[in-house]
């Protein structure tokens, strides 16, 4: 492509974007604003495990029902999804990447469930300060999803929804 065309269309360079993000990246802090999705859409996911839920519920990573096959499927799904951009995750229905809508009638979790994973003190985090909770398909099992939130280009994994418990009856 001619140099004039690059300048005309101003195609973002993901490597440069990542370098800029590295300069300002910090661990998630309660209530702190992240980077708008628009600015990270061409980055590929980086996964973090700081907020894994380990409360032994059906969505937690220490649930007794999880098998070796489930954990391998989870890791294979993360590996596959780490090769595509956030924008492709969002725009391709195959990945089922979307925010969790706590207001939906059929949803089985509440904002309070999410808040309790992030902090043990409710007063430290208002509902308005909660990051957006997302889910995406892991593609090793028809129903398997993982849930988490984005902060400064990092996807913090919270739950493993192996049996599609969060949105029961929807596939």
pLDDT 10s digit of each residue in the chain, 171 long?
555 555 566 666 766 766 665 555 556 555 556 667 777 888 899 999 989 999 888 899 998 999 999 999 999 999 999 999 999 999 999 999 999 998 887 888 888 888 888 887 777 777 778 888 999 998 877 778 999 999 888 899 999 998 888 887 654
Global confidence as pTM: 0.77
Specify the DSSP class assigned to residue 8.
Answer: H
Q: Count the Cβ atoms, other than its own, within 10 Å of residue 101.
A: 11
* Cβ-contact 97, 89 below 8 angstroms: yes
How far apart (Å, rounded) are the C-alpha atoms in residues 105 and 63?
Answer: 25
Query: Is residue 23 helix, strand or coil?
Result: helix
Integer angstrom CA distances of residue 1 from 4, 6, 43, 77: 8, 7, 22, 34
Residue listed under structure tokens 């939130």 = 149
CA distance 31 to 89: 25
What pLDDT score does 79 carry?
92
Q: What is the pLDDT of residue 40?
A: 80
- CA 56, CA 50: separation in Å to the nearest integer? 16
Classify the C-alpha dihedral 119-104-154-36 as positive or negative: negative
Instruction: Give the C-alpha separation, 4 to 113, whole Å.
Output: 52
Q: Pairing relation of β-strands 133-137 and 145-151?
A: antiparallel
Task: Give the pLDDT confidence score for residue 129 in this predicted structure.
Answer: 80
Residue 91: predicted pLDDT: 94
Output the six-digit token pair for 77: 């799904």
What is the pLDDT, as a whole number, of residue 37? Answer: 73
Residue 135: per-residue pLDDT: 93
């Amino acid at each position: 492509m001619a140099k004039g065309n690059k300048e005309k269309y101003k195609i973002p360079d993901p490597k440069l974007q990542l370098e800029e993000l590295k300069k300002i990246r910090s661990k998630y802090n309660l209530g702190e604003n992240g980077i708008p999705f628009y600015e990270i859409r061409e980055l590929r996911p980086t996964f973090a495990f700081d907020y894994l839920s380990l409360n032994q519920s059906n969505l937690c990573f220490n649930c007794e029902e999880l098998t070796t096959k489930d954990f391998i499927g989870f890791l294979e799904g993360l590996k596959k999804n780490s090769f595509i951009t956030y924008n492709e995750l969002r725009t391709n229905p195959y990945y089922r990447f979307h925010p969790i809508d706590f207001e939906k009638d059929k949803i089985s979790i509440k904002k309070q469930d999410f808040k309790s994973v992030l902090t043990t003190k409710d007063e430290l985090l208002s509902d308005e300060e909660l990051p957006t909770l997302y889910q995406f398909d892991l593609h090793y099992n028809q129903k398997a999803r993982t849930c988490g939130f984005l902060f400064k280009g990092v996807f913090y994994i919270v739950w493993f929804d192996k049996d599609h418990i969060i949105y029961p009856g929807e596939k």
